[in-house]
């Protein structure tokens, strides 16, 4: 599949989809507290998304049964909300959400620590975010995708973290997942040449220990093989003639 270049009108719509998703994440982050269940987060998230006139893009996607992916502690991504799963003080909670606004998608993830977390948790969440920002330093027209991937992966690896290899970021637009695939590590390839009008969901998934992951029997939830913590940070990014625009960040 070719990588789509969005027209000015499409960029307007993606900008609005991104702006709304930033607000959804802000509201969810404020609501998060011990004693809530992961299903409470999902229900609240769906309500907020619909209150902005958007559709939750994850709901029903390849059979995914919820609007928000809620992944706790050793869960990397795609945790399925559950009424029996209670959030506790100190938990590392990754929230991943996507919305559709007038046919255009945005996708973003945040990792929160509930209350006072351990130093291990705080460092992991910080380095995961930093690795994203390291990557987007290279998100400029004329650069190559491989530069973003290598910058993310090398930043986290140099600090002793495990960089997940089994999942990656992606192009985004009228579909949640479009070309290209965006790995979070150096594949040794230059990759695609970036052009203004490309929209990319860049999403490092970083582990405190090993990079290796496995899937639970629910066929969605990805967990670390060693049971240690994982964090996820994602924004939908627009490539321009100058600085990239972070559509899902205010």
Site for Co ion in 195-224 (CB under 5 A): 201, 203
CA-to-CA separations, 176 to 72, 107, 243, in angstroms, rounded: 23, 7, 23
User: Residue 131: which of 171, 195, 182 has the closest Cα?
Assistant: 182
Q: State which of residues 42, 107, 134, 178 lies at the interface with ligand MF3 (CB under 6 A).
A: 107
Helix 119-136 with 145-158: angle, nearest 10 deg: 160
**Stretch of 42-50, 57-65, 178-186, 210-218 contacting ligand MF3, by CB under 6 A:** 57-65
Query: Within positions 182 to 201, which residues make up the interface with ligand MF3, using CB under 6 A?
Result: 201
> Would you say 1 or 9 has its CB closer to ligand MF3?
1
Q: Are strands 199-202 and 169-171 parallel, antiparallel or unpaired?
A: antiparallel
Q: Are 193 and 158 in contact (CB under 8 A)?
A: no
Sorted by sequence, the CB contacts under 8 Å of residue 50 that are 6+ apart come out as 56
Question: Which residues within the stretch 59-88 sit at the binding site for ligand MF3 (CB under 6 A)?
Answer: 61-62, 64, 69, 78
Selection from Co ion, ligand MF3, none that 69 binds (CB < 5 to 8 A by kind) is ligand MF3
Q: Does residue 58 interact with ligand MF3 by CB under 6 A?
A: yes
Interaction site with ligand MF3 (CB under 6 A): 58, 61-62, 64, 69, 78, 96, 107, 170, 201
């Amino acid at each position: 599949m070719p990588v789509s270049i969005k027209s000015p009108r499409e960029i307007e719509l993606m900008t609005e989809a991104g702006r709304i998703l930033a607000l959804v994440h802000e509201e969810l982050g404020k609501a998060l507290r011990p004693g809530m269940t992961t299903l409470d987060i999902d229900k609240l998230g769906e309500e907020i998304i619909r209150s902005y006139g958007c559709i939750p893009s994850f709901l029903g996607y390849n059979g995914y049964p919820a609007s928000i992916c809620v992944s706790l502690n050793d869960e990397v991504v795609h945790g399925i909300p559950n009424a029996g799963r209670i959030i506790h003080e100190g938990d590392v909670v990754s929230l991943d959400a996507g919305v559709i606004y007038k046919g255009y998608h945005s996708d973003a993830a945040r990792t929160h620590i509930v209350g006072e977390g351990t130093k291990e948790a705080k460092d992991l969440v910080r380095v995961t975010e930093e690795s994203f920002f390291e990557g987007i330093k290279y998100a400029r027209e004329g650069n190559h995708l491989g530069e973003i991937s290598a910058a993310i992966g090398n930043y986290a690896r140099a600090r002793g973290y495990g960089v997940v290899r089994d999942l990656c970021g992606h192009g985004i637009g009228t579909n949640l997942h479009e070309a290209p695939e965006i790995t979070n590590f150096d594949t040794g390839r230059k990759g695609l040449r970036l052009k203004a009008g490309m929209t990319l969901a860049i999403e490092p998934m970083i582990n405190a220990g090993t990079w290796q992951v496995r899937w639970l029997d629910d066929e969605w939830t990805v967990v670390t093989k060693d049971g240690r913590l994982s964090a996820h940070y994602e924004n939908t990014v627009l490539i321009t003639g100058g600085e990239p625009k972070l559509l899902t960040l205010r």
